[in-house]
Amino acid sequence: MIMQRYIHGVGMTKFGIEDISAPDLAREAIVQALKGSSMSPNDIDAIVLSNADTKLSPERQRDLTPMLASILKRKLPIVRIPAVCGGGGAAMWSALKLKYNNILVIAVEKIASTSTQMITKEIMHASDNFHEQDEGLIFPAVNAMVAQAHMLKFGTTHDDLALISYKNHHHGSLNPKARFYRKNISLDTIKNAPIICSPFTLYDCSISVNGAAAAIISNDRSDIKVKGSSLAADYLAPFERDELTTWTGTVKSGKEAFQQADLNPSDINVAELHDAFSIVELLAYEDLGFCKKGEGKNFIRDGHPNLDGKVPINTSGGLKARGHPISPTGMAQIVEIADQLRGRCGDRQVTNPKYGLAHNIGGAGGTTTCHILQKW
């Protein structure tokens, strides 16, 4: 069981490619979170930071903890949690374990000015570099093999994956902080885009951006309660697992979060699911229990995860259209769910949500977190 914790203020920069330094990105998200909490820096008791310990940042600023102390003008405990693409969710999970009263959780990354080659190489730290990488299995290839396995076993098609991309781009076009804000992408464009790694086209893959996202959690009551928080790990390489089309980390973390919250998947009103590749979102439909195994294709065909569907998913635009700045992704999910529960999402607002879920993955299913928030 987790301690009774509440979400106070949240903050997030626009996710984009603007040349803004990591400290300035962090400062913007922190100021928003403090303002939303009606707190000052003096009210913060500890900080949990996530950023990638790699060469991704062209500024080469790898240790950002002193930077946060400078921004807040405070000398206080700061813990750093690197978990690559799952860093934001892992930072949130870790912060909830600490016994401090008011904790700032912040994730920040500046990677969009880095070359594609460098981004690809550095992100591969979250995968197997003894077997997979020697065979050319960078992340698009690994996830494409998972998609192919799902298609062979369950009859899923690329048209089903295209519906996921189309949905998320529509949602992202409504999100002022998304990379694809006001950029409507047609279904035909998605289907006919260049092949990246069969069956994936360009729009099956997430886009790299810069950004920061933050939240302040507290023992003091607010309008949003953390009902469930879980973290699970799986074997690093998908080929080591018993089943390519079931990601056990998602299954385990989802079950644990639902048990903590005393809820079922049918209780969730809005969700942010990790969609680094379109197939990953479809797998999460099944592994989290929104539908049965093999029926993810029917779930998207029937429009259940659309904005007006049974359980709107990735209302922010997801990693596809909001963008994927690595560590901040998991915290951006928390921000979106908190804003949805508070009714602050404008044209993409879900009607009267009470429960929201955030699902964040590091690697190809290696580290997975799930958080369930409740409008209190």
Active site residue 85: yes
Task: Provide the 10 A C-beta neighbour count for residue 152.
Answer: 11
Amino acid letter at 215? A
CB 149 within 8 A of CB 245: yes
CA distances from 102 to 39, 105, 112, 335 (A): 10, 10, 32, 17
Active site residue 324: yes
This prediction has a pTM of 0.95
Report, at the CATH architecture level, how domain 6-115+209-218 is classified. Answer: 3-Layer(aba) Sandwich (3.40)
In degrees and rounded to multiples of 5, residue 100 shows phi and psi of -75, 160
Give me the catalytic one of 8, 85, 158, 291: 85
Burial tier of 26 (Cβ tally within 10 Å: 0-12, 13-18, 19+): buried
Rounded Cα distance, 154 and 297, in Å = 9
Q: Which residues fall within 8 angstroms of residue 338, CB to CB, at 6 or more apart?
A: 7, 10, 215, 224, 356, 373
Q: Where would I find the H helices in 173-271?
A: 187-191, 248-261
Please report how many Cα atoms fall inside a 13 Å half-sphere around the Cα of residue 299, on the Cβ side.
24
Q: Which regions of 115-208 does DSSP assign to beta strands (E)?
A: 195-197, 200-201
Give me the catalytic one of 158, 169, 274, 324: 324
Q: Can you give the pLDDT of all 376 residues of the chain as single tens digits?
A: 556 999 999 999 999 999 898 899 999 999 999 999 999 999 999 999 999 865 666 565 556 788 888 889 989 999 999 888 999 999 999 999 999 999 999 999 998 877 777 776 667 666 666 666 667 778 888 899 999 999 999 999 999 999 999 999 999 999 999 999 999 999 999 999 999 999 999 999 999 999 999 999 999 999 999 999 999 998 877 778 889 999 999 999 999 999 999 999 999 999 999 999 999 999 999 999 999 999 999 999 999 999 999 999 999 999 999 999 999 999 999 999 999 999 999 999 999 999 999 999 998 888 999 999 999 8
